């Protein structure tokens, strides 16, 4: 082998570089071709077999239960058929004992009765009046049921101040008369040995309270004769229903009076 001359070295280096560039170009081109070319997917499936589950137990046989139920139903049916046959036989026996009903024989018409004068009609008693103090109307605070006149208390005796003195007088039962709106008039009468008859009359107003009581108020008035007066507040009343016909009224002096319809 001979040494290269100074003139051949540049040519040899150029050829070497051209070869290297060509190889590099081929590598780049093959890389591009490989990147662009489609590649099939790589799949790897692995299977793992597991042992099969145990077979389920067979269901219980319903045949014995159904057969027992059928036998029970047949026994009940046989019992019912026996009872029906016995009832039919009993019915036939009773029908055989029955006798046919004979048609009724014609009966001669009875003689016509002698007409007697009819007795005069008996007067019927009128229905009783409605109760004067019904519980429902009292509970409804109906002042209309007070319409009319009422007797207050009973005949009694009491001390009455007359002309500066006191007399023992016979006091008659009081009387109260109401209109339909609870307004009315109260009257009291006393017979005194020294003064004679004393009559007091005062206007009165009735109202129901929240405690289901009936209260009355009246002003102070002068009586006849005028030597006596009837003070208002002591004679105001508070009445409570006892029954359909009776209420008990108490005045401010704590005296009780029966309240009844006249």
Has residue 157 been placed in a domain?
yes
**Given the structure tokens 């002309």, which residue do they identify?**
163
The one-character DSSP state at 135 is H
Instruction: Report if residue 105 sits inside a domain.
Output: no
**Range in 98-102, 121-125, 168-172, 248-252 the model is least confident about:** 98-102
Give the tens place of pLDDT for each residue, 189-235.
999 888 889 999 999 999 999 999 999 999 989 888 877 777 767 78
User: Do 245 and 132 meet the contact criterion of CB atoms below 8 Å apart?
Assistant: yes
Domain range for 145 is: 135-261
Cα 185 from Cα 178, distance rounded (Å):
7
In this structure, is residue 153 part of a structural domain? yes
CB atoms within 10 A of CB 128: 6
CATH number at 158 reads 2.40.128
Q: Is the pLDDT of residue 135 over 50?
A: yes
Q: How confident is the model at residue 182 (pLDDT cuts 50, 70, 90)?
A: very high
By the 10 Å C-beta count (0-12 exposed, 13-18 middle, 19+ buried), 165 is classed as: exposed
To which residue do tokens 């009319």 refer?
148
- Please state whether 153 falls in left (phi above 0), alpha (psi between -120 and 50) or beta: left
pTM of the model: 0.51
Cis peptide preceding 225, ω within 30 of 0 = yes
Rg (CA), the chain: 64
Q: State how far Cα 262 lies from the chain centre.
A: 41
Tokens representing residue 98 in the block: 């029955």
Joined together, the tokens standing for residue 205 give 């107003």
Between 121 and 170, where is the model more confident? 170
Q: Is residue 146 part of a domain?
A: yes
- 71 domain residue, yes or no: no
| Number of DSSP helices (H) and strands (E) in the chain, helices first | 3, 12
Domain for residue 95, yes or no? no
Query: Count of domains in the chain?
Result: 1
Strands 214-217 and 196-208, by their bridges, are: antiparallel
In a domain, 48, yes or no: no
**Among 179-183, 223-227, 249-253, the least confident range:** 223-227
At 137, is the secondary structure helix, strand, or coil? Answer: helix
- Predicted pLDDT at 90: 87
Residue 121 lies in a domain: no
Per-residue model confidence as pLDDT tens digits over 57-105: 777 777 888 788 888 888 888 888 888 888 888 888 887 777 666 677 7
Residue among 191, 179, 171 nearest 235 (CA):
171
CA–CA distances in Å: residue 118 to residues 115, 121, 122: 9, 9, 11
Q: Is the pLDDT of residue 8 over 70?
A: no
CA distance 259 to 239: 8
Task: Examine the pLDDT at 10 and tell me if it is beyond 60.
Answer: yes
């Amino acid at each position: 082998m001979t040494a290269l001359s100074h003139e051949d070295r540049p040519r040899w280096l150029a050829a070497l570089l051209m070869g290297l560039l060509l190889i590099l170009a081929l590598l780049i081109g093959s890389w591009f071709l490989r990147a662009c070319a489609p590649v099939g997917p790589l799949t790897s499936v692995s299977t793992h077999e597991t042992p099969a589950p145990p077979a389920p137990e067979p269901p219980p046989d319903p045949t014995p239960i159904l057969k027992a139920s059928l036998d029970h139903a047949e026994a009940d049916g046989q019992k019912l058929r026996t009872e029906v046959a016995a009832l039919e036989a009993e019915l036939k026996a009773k029908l055989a004992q029955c006798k046919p009903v004979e048609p009724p024989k014609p009966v001669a018409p009875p003689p016509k009765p002698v007409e007697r004068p009819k007795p005069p009609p008996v007067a019927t008693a009128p229905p009783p009046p409605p109760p004067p103090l019904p519980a429902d109307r009292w509970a409804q605070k109906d002042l209309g049921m007070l319409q009319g006149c009422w007797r207050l208390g009973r005949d009694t005796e009491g001390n009455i101040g007359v002309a500066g003195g006191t007399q023992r007088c016979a006091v008659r039962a009081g009387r109260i008369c109401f209109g339909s709106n609870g307004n009315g008039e109260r009257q009291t009468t006393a017979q005194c040995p020294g003064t004679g008859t004393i009559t007091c009359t005062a206007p009165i107003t009735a109202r129901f309270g929240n405690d289901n009581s009936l209260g009355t108020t009246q002003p102070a008035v002068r009586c006849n004769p005028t030597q006596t007066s009837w003070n208002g507040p002591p004679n105001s009343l508070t009445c409570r229903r006892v029954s359909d016909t009776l209420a008990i009224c108490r005045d401010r002096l704590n005296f009780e009076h029966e309240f009844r319809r006249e």
